[in-house]
Structure formats: C-alpha cells, structure tokens
Chains A and B, each alone.
Chain A
Amino acid sequence: MGGSARLLLLLPTRTYRTEDFIDAAHTLGVDLVCASEKPSTLEALAPDSLLTLDFADPDAAASSVAGWSKERPLAAVVGVDDVTAAAAAAIAARLGLRASAPSAVAAARDKFQMRQCLAAAGLRVPRFRRIALGENPVLAARGVEFPCVLKPLSLSASRGVIRANTTEQFVVAFKRITALLARDDVTVSGDAARYLLAEEYVPGLEVALEGLLIDGRLHVLALFDKPDPLEGPFFEETIYITPSRLPEVVQQAIRTTTAAACAALGLTEGPIHAELRVNDDGPWVLEIAARSIGGLCSRTLRFGTGMTLEEIILRHALGWPIDTLERQRPAAGVMMIPIPRGGTLKAVQGVEDAKATAHVEDVVISVHVGQEVVPLPEGWQYLGFIFARAAAPADVEDALRIAHSRLKFRIA
C-alpha cells in the first residue's frame, strides 16, 4: 500500500513534532517530502523531497506546491501545528486532498473568530472583546469585567495568556503581550499582530480532548485531565493524564460540546486538539485547534496494537484504513516540565533517577546546556517531558510528580 504514495509534511524548523511524524511516515512506507519555512542545507541536492514554503502565507504556499507537484503528484498533505495547519488546508484545497476547509482552519487559528463562531452557534463562551494593541490600555480596561484573561489571538500553549484581576494588572498584561508580539521569535501577521483578546475568566477544571474528524464526525481519541490548578496569573500547562477521572456524564458533555464546536467552526477532517473548562454551568470551550496535541505529548497515546497518533493522522490524510481508534487501556500521562525562572541552563541532574521511578517510561530533556530558557508568559519552550503509564490515573500522576522531584535544573 505504501511505496508510491507521496506525502507532504509541513514541519516548521522549531516544532517538537518532527521526529514522531517522520517515524510514522517511515513506518507507513510513504514517499516522504518535508517542507519547512527555512531552506534545508540539502534542498538543492534533494529537490524531490525537500521544499521551502512560506507557512505564514497559505495561498502562496499552495501556489508553490501546486507548481512543484505537477511532476510529483501528492497523495496527502499534513501540517503539524497551528501555522502549518492553515498552509496544509490551503494546499489540500488547491490539490483536492483531504482536509478541513481553509476558512474553518483559519477560524480555529484566530481566537476572536473562534469565539464569534462558537457564540453564533449558541455554545457557551466567555464574554470576550478584541482590543487593538494601539488602544490606550487604561481606557480599554473600562470595557471589561474582572477577573479577565488577556491573550494573543494566535499563539499556542498558553504563551502570552495572562489573568488580570484589576485595571492595574490589565495594563501590565496588555503591555506585556504587546511586547511579546514584537519579539523576533514570534511570527504573527494580520489581525494577530494588531489585536489581543480580553475575555471573562472562567473558573473550573480544565481538560484537553484529542480527536480526529472523519467526514465531519468527531472521534474522541483521548480525554486528558489537567490535575494542576490553572488559575493564573499565567497558565502553565504541566500534567496531562488520560483517561479522565471525571464522571461519565461530564465526559459525555465534553465530547458533545467539542463536536458541536467543531461543527460551528466548519472543521470536518483531520486532528483536533480542544481545551475546555468545566464548572457547574457545564463545559466551556476555551479553544479548538485544527492540529494534534503539541510538544512530545502524543507519546502518551497508543492505539490498537501500538499505532501512534501520528500514524493515525497520516493514514487519515492518505485515506488509508485505520484498524481502530481505540486507545490502549492503561492510564498514561505526561508532564511538560516547566521553566521555573529565566536564565541559561547550566546543568541537569537526576535524569537517571527520574527514569527509574516506578511507572515512568521515559524522561526527555529537550533543552541543551548553555541554552537560554524563558518562563511563561513570554517563554516558548519546555525543559522537557516525563512520560508515565500505569493501571490507574492516580498512579500515573504520582509517578510524574515523583520523577519531576528527582530532576534538578541549574539555571543561572
């Protein structure tokens, strides 16, 4: 079945997702083509398998690929993060490949558009307001109720998300986000470079839902609890554990709400990653991204006899059969190791001890000694990832916390 099927993977140079997607492509035996936003040093020598595309301009990327693929027909295109999902959708639309509509992916990418779509569909959303970065923040604060959350329109993984309880905190957060969006390592354009979103703070538990859309139907692949409280002022994601320990009736409400939100956005095909809050009012969709889970977190998931999430995503894009979407039974979890303070990483100790923790499968340190590390809300990295698997979610959570306590990061 493999062999001749040519697959285009859109892989930003800074994504965590490269290894897992390339491994999946290798497992499937496809003819792999990789595109990045910056040229590979080998592109001139391997023009049939390496491309450079402007991911920030999906239409331009689609035009480039349309020309390139005349002599090299593509069977599928897959983006691995928010930016590349938009480019992949544009390419797929141009070439008639399987993906959600570009307009739907764009709506999911822009938190303001998303809020509008969800509200118009009658879904429960926090009160929200888009504010131009050029506005006077003191005056802008008069138009919101406290506590509120300020966030960029398009960054992911809680980057730039700040809670404000007072006008003073609002102004500080506003200026901080404005400065963040001007950083060299932030790539935003259009509205995302000119506005931020201020919205009502929604108290409650937070969960993440990983799903796959096939012909407009949502298949839930995993529901993750986030046991660490996310109450601000920053919203650092740490532990994800599946299966959820929430009552089945609540889980069903989360699934139903997420499916309705996908429909409201017009998403019909491919992976989605949703973040929701749950309180006495029910589930609130915080966001739905037209991509799979970020970082290395997908390594917690195995399906059927060991299929990875990336294999499922590639099989779906290729239109190949998928034996099962059933997650393997043991509970599993990941800790995204937070950055406690800014500075330069000088040393990491305790990795072997952490790996030796009962139920821990692996510990991956993803920054290198000598590297600058920046905490939230400006930060863009994790120190690494801890993975655990056990019979019960509580055992997974304990293992992750014990392993983390054994790691020592010297940052100066």
Chain B
Amino acid sequence: MTEAATPDLKSRVQELIDTMINPAVAGHGGFVELLDVQDNRVYLTMGGGCQGCGAADVTLKAGIERLIKEEIPEVVEVLDTTDHSQGTNPYYTAGKS
C-alpha cells in the first residue's frame, strides 16, 4: 500500500522544481513536471529538450535527484516516468564516438 505525500512535501518539491530546477533546464529547452510523491518517492516527467536527451539520466540522477534530496532529505528517490522514445527535440542525441 502506497502512502500519498503530505501536501507540504509535495508542495516543497514543486517549489524546488519551479524555482531552481526548471529555470536551469530551460537553458537547454527542457522542463520537468511533478506527477506525484508517494512513499517519499518523487515521480516526474521530463519534457522539451530533456525528453529523449542522451544526458537525461545525468540530469536526473546527478542533478535533479541530488538537489531534491539535499533540500528535502525525506525524499528517498526521484523516478523518471518519461517516455523518452517520444522525444522530438532532444538537446543531445546519442551516437558513436
């Protein structure tokens, strides 16, 4: 059984996304949308330049998750629910070196 986040926790995550994360990822045409917080896990989607981007996992795990967990220590994990195969304008695309 999952436990929904308190309004306070979800609103704190949303505020972080609005004030820090989205202004930063907008630099690459990207944005992040908060879907939900359950059992202290944050579920989000990545859009714009982030959707399908070859560096999306770096942004998520070394950037967004790190930032959220530092600012809101009760968050245990940030999970990306984006369908990256549907990205039409990713900032970086993968290729051979």
Q: Which residues of A contact B (CB under 8 A)?
A: 11-16, 18-19, 22, 25-26, 32-34, 36, 40-46, 48-50, 81-83, 155-157, 159, 185, 294-295, 364-371, 380-381
A32-B61, A82-B97, A155-B97 known; A13-B88 Cβ under 8 A: no
Per the CB 8 Å criterion, the residue count for chain B at the interface is 31
B30 touches A14 (CB 8 A): no
Can you report 19 A-B residue pairs in the complex whose CB atoms are below 8 A from each other?
A12-B97, A14-B93, A34-B58, A36-B55, A36-B58, A42-B21, A42-B25, A42-B67, A45-B21, A46-B63, A46-B67, A83-B97, A157-B96, A159-B96, A365-B85, A368-B88, A370-B88, A380-B95, A381-B93
Assembled-state Cα–Cα distance A369/B54 (Å): 15
Interface residues in chain B, defined as those with a beta carbon under 8 Å from any beta carbon in chain A: 20-21, 24-28, 30, 52, 54-55, 57-59, 61-64, 66-67, 85, 87-90, 92-97
Instruction: List A contacts of B62 (CB < 8 A).
Output: 22, 32-34, 40, 42, 46, 49-50
Docked Cα-Cα span, A82 to B97, in Å, equals: 7
Per DSSP, chain B at the interface is helix
* CB nearest to A157 among chain B residues: B96
Least distance between B96 CB and chain A CB atoms (Å): 4
Assess the A19–B55 pair: CB atoms within 8 A.
no
Main secondary structure on A side of the interface with B:
loop
> Are A380 and B96 in contact, with the CB atoms below 8 A?
yes
Please report the C-alpha to C-alpha distance between residue A191 and residue B59 in the assembled complex, in whole angstroms: 34
B54 pairs with A13, CB closer than 8 A = yes
Nearest to A369 among chain B residues (CB) is B88
Q: In the complex, what residue of chain A is closest to B25 when comparing beta carbons?
A: A41
CA distance A41 to B23 in the complex (A): 9
CA distance A320 to B30 in the complex (A): 37
Q: Given A368-B52, A368-B88, do A41 and B59 touch, yes or no (CB 8 Å)?
A: yes
On whether the beta carbons of B30 and A45 are closer than 8 Å, the reply is: no
A12 to B58, CA, bound (A): 10
In the complex, what's the smallest C-beta–C-beta distance from A281 to chain B, in angstroms? 30
* A41 lies within 8 A of B24 (CB): yes
Q: Which residue of A lies closest to B55 (CB)?
A: A13
Asked if B63 contacts A40 (CB within 8 A), the reply is: yes
CB-nearest residue of chain B to A367: B93
CB < 8 Å: which of B20, B88, B93, B97 contacts A45? B20
